Structure 1
Amino acid sequence: MIADTPRQWLATCPRALPPVLAAELEALGATDIREQQAGVSFTGTRAVMYRVCLWSRIATRVLLPVGEGAAGDADALYATLLEIPWPDLLAEGASIAVNFNGTNSEIRNTRFGAQRSKDAILDKYRAAGRAPPRVNPEAPDLHIVVRLHRDHIDVALDMVGESLHRRGYRRAAGDAPLKENLAAALLLRADWPQLAREGAALVDPMCGSATLLLEGAQIAADQAPALGRTRFDFMGWQGHDPEQWSAVHSEARGRAERGLAAGLPEIRGYDADPKVIRRAEENIAAAGLAKWVRVSVKALGEVRKPTHVALPKGLLITNPPYGERIGRKDSLPQLYRHLGELLHREFAGWQAAILAGDREHGRSLGLRSHKQYQLFNGRLPVTLLLLDLEGNRLADGDALVARKDLEIDIPEAEALPELSDGAEMFANRLRKNQRKLASWLKRSGNECYRLYDADIPEYAVAVDRYGDYLHVAEYKAPAQVSEAAAAQRLNDVRQSLPAATGVSADRIVFKQRERQRGKAQYEVRGDEGEMLSVREGEARLLVNLHDYLDTGLFLDHRPLRLRIAAEATGLRFLNLYCYTGSATVHAALAGARETVSVDLSNSYLRWLGQNLAHNGLAETRHHLVRADVMQWLREGDELFDLILLDPPSFSNSRKVPGSFDVQRDHGGLLNLAMQRLAPEGVLYFSNNRRKFRLDGEVSERFAVKDITRSTLDPDFQRNPVPHQCWEMRHKTLQGVADSAKK
């Protein structure tokens, strides 16, 4: 056995991880540990170095420093390299490659620096009368690392070769894979080794390629991360002792066998994308951990704490999208908010570790973190948030509040303040409408509904309730009504609403609403950007009461959305002129196999993305398409089982030539849409044009049923009806073929 004396070593690692690496090195027997910016120097014997190469979950390389000196120019570089006793360092017959890093005013090219360094090493052998080593840039036995900083170089032998973060199990990765050593660092910071010893479960609700799960499983199994590696660069080092290495490796193999034999805790991962889960399964199989690590397709909103075994505690750890390479930035606050609600609702008593790409996203969780660590995922700055979910209260954000089981109080007449005759008349009608809707509201659980719609002609406003907010849209006063009279009536409305509904004045939003054509109804009216979360059926939808004339949720279409939810399970759903995508959210939550939502507005597609994220739904299965609907229908041939077609009454967008008029153009639009309907599918056609008449040719070509009345809830069952709606199917399979030809 070759004498094993202590030496100085350098273990490199990603930025911000030297403290984690230092603790790991100490546990492996290293001494004189000193943290650097991107690594840790330490003293240890050859056996310690072997253990670091085999067991370190954080290090990327282990280097043996062999020399340093001047390198102000090519000649000085050559002279410094020539002084190093290379024949005493390199194993006989070992091939080499030089990794040169850095430049200065004289050495301006790393390839030139590597070539000059290589010349010095080979010349050292020739000067000693020995055959020089073979140079093999692609697969050398030993890498020589030369680092140039200004006019000085440090020279080291790489004991590792391929970076230690490559464990060998990754067969496939997602769009933004988490490096294995960063994943291990997150687990160590979250105290997973101790939790695993206590039998705690490990869950990743957005597992991607399963890196966190596999690193967690290896830790729980006491398995050295480099155990499966067959080649290290130290095997090309003159000081390598194969017998000692065999003993260190054999010990690690025995520990892993005993760890797996003892069994692992529950380790589960989920992802909404089936393709991602297939990649994760490949990685798990490659790691030999398929018996213990299980993954399945589930959107974030469907994730639940494992219940088939007794799990008093566990760690939920995940790396959500950052919005840099994957994910929509504007959807991420809702995604994090939904994640926070999931943690609070399903994982009480557990620990959580969330790698947030932005501090604001972390705050969107709504939960208090007891520790934060600033890290880097590649070059991206990220923050690890550690949360104790025992008694961690979910904060109600000012702009994003989900409300359930809202109780409606109907003030009695005597509770009203002194009102004018007109204001009292208006207040009495509000109370009457509320009582009339009360039993329906109790049965349905709806918290968003129309309370009043110009029931008294003199008070031409629409009053909609959104949770504990009111949205009041004032219609344009008739020409015979003076501005002063209209202002007085609006003042009566303002005075009456708080007392008659129990909603405080600061939660009542007023807008003047005129009859609009085309895009005017969608234009921005403000820039507050405040989103309110409201519940409809199983969906939570984001509405904006301030910035647009409409709020992002057409209340009269509620029954149709719920009908789609009831029919969408396992189907492909197409939402044309999707607006903010509330129907898409319903279909997705109901288990639609896939959804496609088409709209020309970037603003509303972003809103839809936020709605999906707010419900824990991934865009991997729910596709957002920015396009002119008619052009998109002409250019494709995919079929859908369920289609919602709800076009505007009129549109003359600058983004497309010409204009669209639903009365004039609906025949051609329906023909195109029906070509996309599967033979046994159903299309729902709806529009809000008051005097709309369906073209008779449509009924001749397709099986058409007017379902308008069945798509109106009690809060909209008044004349005139707010919309018209038809159910359409193909009459025969031959009809499908004829439709496609036309």
Structure 2
Amino acid sequence: MSQSVFFVTCPKGVEYLLADELKTFGLEPVRNAPAGVWAKGSLEGGYRTCLWSRLANRVILHIDEVDATSGDRLYDGVVHLDWQQHIPVNGSFRVTFLGQNEAIRNTQFGAQRVKDGIVDRFRVGGGQRPSSDAKAPDVVISARLNRGRLSLGIDLSGHSLHMRGYRTEKGLAPMKENLAAALLLRAGWPEIAREGGDFVDPMCGSGTLLIEAAMMALDLAPGRKSEGFGFEKWPGHQPELWLSLRQEAERRAHEGKQGKLPKFAGFDQDSRVIATARNNLQRAGLDGVIQLEVRQVADLALDGGWAETGLVLTNPPYGERLSERRELSALYRSLGESVKRVAPGWRLGVFTGAPEYGKSIGLRSYKQYRLFNGKLPAQLLLFEIDDASAMTPREPDIPGEITPRIANEERAAMLGNRLKKNMKTIGQWARKQGISCYRLYDADMPEFALAIDIYEGRVHVQEYAAPKSVDERSARERLAEALAVIPGALGIEREDMVTKQRQRQTGTSQYEKQEASGEFFQVHEHGCVLKVNLKDYLDTGLFLDHRPVRLWIQQHAKGQRFLNLFCYTGAATVHAAVGGASRSLSLDMSKTYVNWAEENLALNRADPKRHRVEQADCLAWLAEKPSPDQRFDLIFMDPPTFSNSARMAGVLDIQKDHGRLIRQAMARLNSEGLLIFSNNFRRFKLDEALEGEFEIEEVSKSTLDRDFQRNARIHRCWHIRHQD
């Protein structure tokens, strides 16, 4: 067979694994590129990649490369290629265009120039031309721009190969299938399966890791259930060759189920995602192969008959705010305790966007792989579950004592000058606006990764976790400098400054308890009086970034029935009451915060009969059928990113659960009412299905005052109404 050149794309960080995989399909890797591999080989190798690759996104059959230093040169290169051998004259095509340069800054422009060149090539001599079809073309032309060169090819896959066909339910997408396969390969699952090992995912979600692991062990081709590929209407397609490869895949699928199979089990404490996982494995043809059960990590148990070796692989959630870290660390610690109890001698793999929590597991990681979950940097941590790997669990980012001192006069002076400048700009703005609590500094200088907040003359300093490029000693040195500089630059006494650190520690240090100073004091915001405490809790009692949201509520609350879910210390309710809300209900699971909210309302002389605060699990409360008196005109909901408190009915993962929470909240909202939904998960993506059910307007930009505009992702906020 003649040799062809292919460009096979994949998730970022998976290139070396893909190169090894392509060799098994008869392709010879030529070079790796970011998120892809160039390879050469026969068309059969390209077909095998489409059918069997567990890692690829797309398989592009390379046609040619043309000059793209200008739009005209791009067109000239395209129009001279022989497109008749790749696109049926009476068929249709679509151009996908990636990349830009100084001359071609818009992908739509680039795609149009390619399309023009193709069409004009067919028009030479008055010939018939194919049509353009954006939705269901016969052939997809791939155009990839890199600096001044444009690579052109035929997309043999036609769709992203990560879509195996077993995940069809709409909603928020879990981990992509080819990333799951990459994790399994990095964790050594194929070797473990061949040696008789079993597989468990204790936080399985919709079951992607489980299904991909089973497909590997059963020798099931990932593309076996695909409804179609991009080459099937391509003029160069070889149907007989493709039929033989499909028949081979069916034979291997039949043989794969004949031998002794590993045992597979997936657990999750959310019954809804377990139901989704059941549907997914049914579509994958794995009924009876995978055991699924609703169960918490702490209750992990395996019945009899499991192998002495195996793989536990999972993708736990992670939190954002300081107040969520303790719960998240407890989850990782519980995971470590459970796997050591039920799976000694096995291997553990944890894929996480918060790898610092790996130390809470209580095992030494012997390997770490840097990967990406979409655009999010993440790591796969691998552990052997044995006594030799055991270590004392450690909490990440533990506060500690730092003695103020200046090691670098010039560097310290830079920070002092920046703080003085900010006092003249942000401080002056705040005074003119009548704002007494505001963020003065937010990691403005990379050398000093701090958030510095002013609370009516007192200063609250939080240290961000230093990047791994900065060693612990350097981070401590810079923090010591900051603590030495801040009082003088801001004109305060040292005792008026409180510091909370996120600092790595070694040994057996644990997360130190917060202070019990009882040092509450009152601050003022838009005519409201609020209690704060800078020392005793991870957060102060007042989220400064939500100041414009609270003001908006105050200005629109007159005569409204107001509901504050996950109310924290009730600051938003105070603003609603001061603004004239007819009544309010504020819910939080923490007795500490409920008491705090009641005290805040009392400070503002709110009638406790009309403005009630109750201790309640908002997840359970929302799940109940609303009573007639539980209808509201204005609802504010700012849930945590993650929580698995023992007092809750289940785990809260805002990315996964927000659609359900919003729908349940909207069920308690009057027809003309408004839900204000906010969260601070910086990679949050709103469920697109909600936009078809409600009127949704993102108002994030308008909810950030000047002191937070340097950090536009501090939170995101939406106004949600019922459709007319």
The answer, yes or no, to whether TM exceeds 0.5 is yes
Is the aligned partner of 1:239 residue 2:233?
no
Q: Which of 262, 278, 281 in structure 2 is aligned with 1:265?
A: 262
Give the 3 Å change call, closer, same or farther, for CA 635–85 of structure 1 in structure 2: same
For residues 651-666 of structure 1, the aligned pairs below 5 Å read 653-654=599-600, 657-658=603-604
In structure 1, the partner of 2:722 is none
Once the two structures are TM-superposed, the CA of residue 223 in structure 1 deviates from its matched residue by: 0.2
Please give the alpha-carbon distance, in whole angstroms, between the structure 2 residues aligned to 1:280 and 1:20.
27
* Letter aligned with residue 339 of structure 1: L
Once the two structures are TM-superposed, the CA of residue 238 in structure 1 deviates from its matched residue by: 2.1
Once the two structures are TM-superposed, the CA of residue 38 in structure 1 deviates from its matched residue by: 1.6
In structure 2, the partner of 1:164 is 161
In structure 1, the partner of 2:522 is none
Is the aligned partner of 1:217 residue 2:163?
no
Please give the alpha-carbon distance, in whole angstroms, between the structure 2 residues aligned to 1:531 and 1:33.
43
After superposition, what is the alpha-carbon deviation per residue over 1:151-178, rounded to whole angstroms, capped at 9, x for unaligned?
3211111111110011111123775611
Is the aligned partner of 1:195 residue 2:163?
no
Q: Which of 246, 253, 260 in structure 1 is aligned with 2:250?
A: 253
Is the aligned partner of 1:389 residue 2:385?
yes
Q: Is the 8 A contact 2:60 2:156 kept in 1?
A: yes
For residues 10-159 of structure 1, the aligned pairs below 5 Å read 10-91=7-88, 93-159=90-156
Once the two structures are TM-superposed, the CA of residue 149 in structure 1 deviates from its matched residue by: 2.7
* Letter aligned with residue 117 of structure 2: A
Q: Which of 266, 275, 282 in structure 2 is aligned with 1:278?
A: 275
Q: Is the 8 A contact 2:93 2:131 kept in 1?
A: yes
For residues 570-649 of structure 1, the aligned pairs below 5 Å read 601=541, 625-626=567-568, 628=570, 635=584
Which stretches of structure 1, 4 residues or longer, exceed 4 Å deviation after superposition?
A: 173-176, 327-330, 397-400, 523-532, 542-546, 599-603, 627-638, 643-657, 665-674
Local SS of the residue matching 2:257: helix
Once the two structures are TM-superposed, the CA of residue 121 in structure 1 deviates from its matched residue by: 0.6
* Letter aligned with residue 274 of structure 1: S
* Letter aligned with residue 547 of structure 1: E
Once the two structures are TM-superposed, the CA of residue 31 in structure 1 deviates from its matched residue by: 2.0
Q: TM-score, structure 2 length as denominator?
A: 0.58
Q: Is the 8 A contact 1:18 1:35 kept in 2?
A: yes
Q: Which of 502, 516, 535 in structure 2 is aligned with 1:548?
A: 516
For residues 82-481 of structure 1, the aligned pairs below 5 Å read 82-91=79-88, 93-172=90-169, 175=172, 177-262=174-259, 264-304=261-301, 306-323=302-319, 328-329=324-325, 331-397=327-393
* Letter aligned with residue 568 of structure 2: R
Please give the alpha-carbon distance, in whole angstroms, between the structure 2 residues aligned to 1:359 and 1:80.
47
Give the 3 Å change call, closer, same or farther, for CA 140–368 of structure 1 in structure 2: same
* Letter aligned with residue 21 of structure 1: L
Once the two structures are TM-superposed, the CA of residue 646 in structure 1 deviates from its matched residue by: 8.6
Query: Which runs of 5 or more structure 2 residues have no equivalent in the other structure?
Result: 397-495, 520-532, 534-538, 544-564, 577-581, 622-724
* Letter aligned with residue 133 of structure 2: N
Once the two structures are TM-superposed, the CA of residue 672 in structure 1 deviates from its matched residue by: 8.0
Please give the alpha-carbon distance, in whole angstroms, between the structure 1 residues aligned to 2:595 and 2:371.
52
Query: Which runs of 5 or more structure 1 residues have no equivalent in the other structure?
Result: 401-522, 533-541, 552-578, 580-598, 604-622, 679-742
* Letter aligned with residue 84 of structure 2: P
User: How many residues were matched structurally?
Assistant: 471
* Letter aligned with residue 15 of structure 1: K
Give the 3 Å change call, closer, same or farther, for CA 637–145 of structure 1 in structure 2: same
After superposition, what is the alpha-carbon deviation per residue over 1:370-410, rounded to whole angstroms, capped at 9, x for unaligned?
2111111111111111111133443225669xxxxxxxxxx
Please give the alpha-carbon distance, in whole angstroms, between the structure 2 residues aligned to 1:111 and 1:398.
51
Local SS of the residue matching 2:78: helix
Please give the alpha-carbon distance, in whole angstroms, between the structure 1 residues aligned to 2:95 and 2:613.
67
Once the two structures are TM-superposed, the CA of residue 355 in structure 1 deviates from its matched residue by: 0.7
For the aligned residue pairs, the C-alpha RMSD in angstroms reads: 4.1
Please give the alpha-carbon distance, in whole angstroms, between the structure 2 residues aligned to 1:242 and 1:167.
21
* Letter aligned with residue 111 of structure 2: A
**Rg comparison, structure with higher value:** 1
Q: Is the 8 A contact 1:529 1:547 kept in 2?
A: no
* Letter aligned with residue 227 of structure 1: R
Please give the alpha-carbon distance, in whole angstroms, between the structure 2 residues aligned to 1:100 and 1:650.
56
Local SS of the residue matching 2:12: coil
Once the two structures are TM-superposed, the CA of residue 254 in structure 1 deviates from its matched residue by: 1.1
Identity %: 37
Q: Is the 8 A contact 1:341 1:394 kept in 2?
A: no
Please give the alpha-carbon distance, in whole angstroms, between the structure 1 residues aligned to 2:9 and 2:57.
6
Local SS of the residue matching 1:63: strand
Give the 3 Å change call, closer, same or farther, for CA 272–132 of structure 1 in structure 2: same
* Letter aligned with residue 396 of structure 1: T
In structure 1, the partner of 2:663 is none
Please give the alpha-carbon distance, in whole angstroms, between the structure 2 residues aligned to 1:87 and 1:272.
56
Q: Is the 8 A contact 1:526 1:548 kept in 2?
A: no
Q: Is the 8 A contact 2:19 2:29 kept in 1?
A: no
Q: TM-score, structure 1 length as denominator?
A: 0.57
Give the 3 Å change call, closer, same or farther, for CA 68–529 of structure 1 in structure 2: closer
Local SS of the residue matching 1:383: strand
Give the 3 Å change call, closer, same or farther, for CA 634–301 of structure 1 in structure 2: farther
